[in-house]
Amino acid sequence: MTFGTLLATIQDYKQAGISNPEILTTLLNDMFGDWFASQGISRLTMLSAKKLCLNVTGELKHTNSAKGIGFHSRFLVIFLDDVAEAPETIAEALKCYTSEGDGAYVWVIPDGYMAALTPAEQEWEQHGGGYFSHESICISNTADIDTRCLLEVLYEDTALENVSCEFDVPAHRSVHYRLDKLKAENGEPLIAKDAPVSYKITSRDARVVVQGSRILTSGENSIFASFGTVMAWSPQ
């Protein structure tokens, strides 16, 4: 798929007698919506039979000399007659915008639970040994900008007070947190054991992708272990 294919498809629709801008807008987004997203475009809108607008998921960094392309803070206006012979200039124009990343700004992991360690496991842990029951979250930031994330821990038990913490995820990086290692201001574990919880992760500045995982150990000397991983759910 290329922008040449997009322009050829628009021309095919016109030759078939489909030139209404609203109808073209619907047809093109239905056909190429997933590819638009991969190019950092949230939506295409036909402004007229010869002009379209591309909403960009990023901010304008700089402009270049491109015939038939109007640069704006978060969108491009394309004059089809001017770019017909050089559709690749559209792709070059998109490089003038920052990427706000893949994924979403809000993620939820509804099922969370960290089992308490057995006395033997607690002793081994104090001496730096063992790999015991815990949960983790992984956050990937594919954007061109750093972001700060808020982790909110939502307890099922109303007698427990919900807790939260913040952390940074640099551009084009990932972070991985063992949730049993997070500490409150008093030095105690931030998240209670043996308590059903949900986790909400909100990114402030960029879209991110979130994954949760859980390891449960059991049996004599914790010889049995199960591992589960799940993508978080996003309402967007």
What confidence score (pLDDT) does residue 124 get?
A: 74
Considering the entire predicted model, what is its pTM? Answer: 0.80
**Mean pLDDT score of the chain:** 90
What confidence score (pLDDT) does residue 225 get?
A: 62
Give the whole-angstrom CA distance, residue 172 versus residue 146: 8
Please state the rounded mean pLDDT for residues 73-92.
95
Domain 106-231, CATH 2.60.290.11 — does that match? yes
Q: Which of 50-54, 83-87, 179-183 has the lowest mean pLDDT?
A: 179-183
pLDDT of 104 above 70: yes
Task: Sort strands 106-112 and 224-231 into parallel, antiparallel or unpaired.
Answer: unpaired
89 in helix, strand or coil? Answer: helix
Please state, in angstroms and as integers, the Cα–Cα distance from residue 4 to each residue in 18, 21, 62, 80, 81, following that order: 19, 19, 24, 11, 13
Query: In the chain, what are the domain boundaries?
Result: 3-94, 106-231
Q: How confident is the model at residue 216 (pLDDT cuts 50, 70, 90)?
A: confident
